[in-house]
Structure 1
Amino acid sequence: MSAQHAGDPATFAADVLDEGPAEIEFEPGVASRRPVKTSAAGALVRDSAGRVLFVVPVYKPVLDIPGGMTEDDESPKAAALREIREELGLDVRLGRLLVVDWTPRNGVWRDCHQFVFDGGVVDGAVACDPELRGVEYLTLDDARPRIYPSLHRRLTLAVTALESGTTRYAEFGRET
């Protein structure tokens, strides 16, 4: 079983066995011609005042939410949990999926499926990763000039999903 799997290890192992032997290519090269998509996952973490937790990365000029890119054979939820542990030193219990958002290619970055999970309420989080300058709790309005517009749209949908109990699907932060 993949160490990155966020579910029950015994169930996951049984599910893998139930799939049968690894699939082979009947038409050589067909798999290598398929596009490669990336995925990333993060968490909407709030403080007790309702402000959103943002991380301040050293590698880009904008704020982001805790989370990051998935690794090979890692689920989005497992990636979010791993990144939160690495970035903030927290072992949180992620709640439900709030938003799935597709973002188009941007410069060196491929198009990506972005997953936002409910990260619950955490007061007093601190950065503990050298990739971060720190953390800030901000309202979405206060964060708006310091985050990408698509992230602002995605997080607005995440707050709506949290309040409504309904997961949202978006493309570049716009619900479709």
Structure 2
Amino acid sequence: MKTDPHPQSAGDPLTFAQDVALEGPPEVEFNPGIASRLPAKSSAGGALLRDGQGRILFVVPRYKTVLDIPGGITDDNESPKAACQREVSEELGLRLELGRLLVVDWVPRNGVWRDSHQFIFDGGVLTDEEAAAVQVHDEELGGLKFLSLDEAAPQVHPSLLRRLKLALAAADSGQTIYAEFGRPL
């Protein structure tokens, strides 16, 4: 009896490990050294979390002077969505089932930070009780704030403000938006 090399065609969902195994052996370089010369980008996943009044949950990092949204940079071999869920859990103690992807934004190099892809996922709307109960669970953070975009504007990078405006539009429209430095294309 021949085994189906694509078990998913039989209706069974594959695990990530099975998907990797189906790709075959790791690729080797046709031209040795080419992979090490390719540029590296970082990726980060953030959650758009709102309260019942439509305000956005911002975190107050201790390691920079501006506010950010919950989430963070991916670890090696970690997807942006998995990084976002991990970081939200570490930072806020929340076990969220993130919703759909709202925004993919390319951000250029800035000082020591290489260019990156920023992903924003819909974290949903917290009930009044959930919003009141959210607490910092990570020493990297100095606090939390629920703010409107207008209130947040002087406290965030302009590119994040643009990205969050796009995320709110995407949440309302049901469409995912691609942007470069917070400007839709």
- TM-score band (shorter)? over 0.9
Question: TM-score with structure 2 length normalisation?
Answer: 0.89
Which deviates more from structure 2 when the two are superposed, residues 116-125 or residues 136-145?
A: 116-125
Partner of 1:30: 34
Give, in angstroms, the shift of residue 50 of structure 1: 1.0
1:66 aligned partner: 70
After TM superposition, give the deviation of residue 11 of structure 1 in Å: 2.0
Give ranges in structure 1 of 5+ residues lacking alignment. 1-8
Structure 2 CA distance for aligned equivalents of residues 10 and 169 of structure 1:
28
Hey, what does 2:181 align to over in structure 1? 172
Separation in structure 2 between the aligned mates of residue 154 and residue 112 of structure 1, nearest angstrom: 14
Q: Which of structures 1 and 2 has the bigger CA Rg?
A: 2
SS at match of 1:127: coil
Q: Whole-Å Cα distance in 2 between the matches of residues 105 and 30 of structure 1? A: 22
CA deviations 1:59-115 (Å, max 9, x no partner) are 000000000100100000000001000100110010000000000000000000000
Match of 1:39 in 2: 43
Correspondence 1:16 to 2:25: no
Q: Calculate the TM-score normalised by the size of structure 1.
A: 0.93
Which consecutive unaligned segments of at least 5 residues does structure 2 have? 1-12
TM-superposition CA deviations, 1:7-51 (whole Å, max 9, x none): xx9521211111001111121101001000111110000011111
Is it true that 1:148 corresponds to 2:152 in the alignment?
no
Corresponding residue for residue 133 of structure 1: 142
| Paired residue type of 1:168 | I
- What is the aligned-residue RMSD (CA, Å)? 1.0
Residue among 102, 112, 123 paired with 1:98: 102
Query: Does structure 1 residue 115 correspond to structure 2 residue 84?
Result: no
Letter in 1 for 2:40: V
How many residue pairs get aligned? The number is 168
Q: Does 1:57 align with 2:66?
A: no
Q: Which stretch of the first structure deviates more once superposed, 118-127 or 52-61?
A: 118-127
Identity of aligned residues (%): 65
Q: In structure 1, how many angstroms separate the alpha carbons of the residues matched to 2:65 and 2:20? A: 41
Aligned to 2:6: none
Corresponding residue number in structure 2 for 1:4: none
Q: Once superposed, which parts of structure 1, at least 4 consecutive aligned residues long, lie more than 3 Å away?
A: none
Alpha-carbon distance between aligned partners in 1 of 2:56 and 2:101, rounded to the nearest angstrom: 16
Partner of 2:167: 158
Q: Which residue of 2 aligns with 1:82?
A: 86
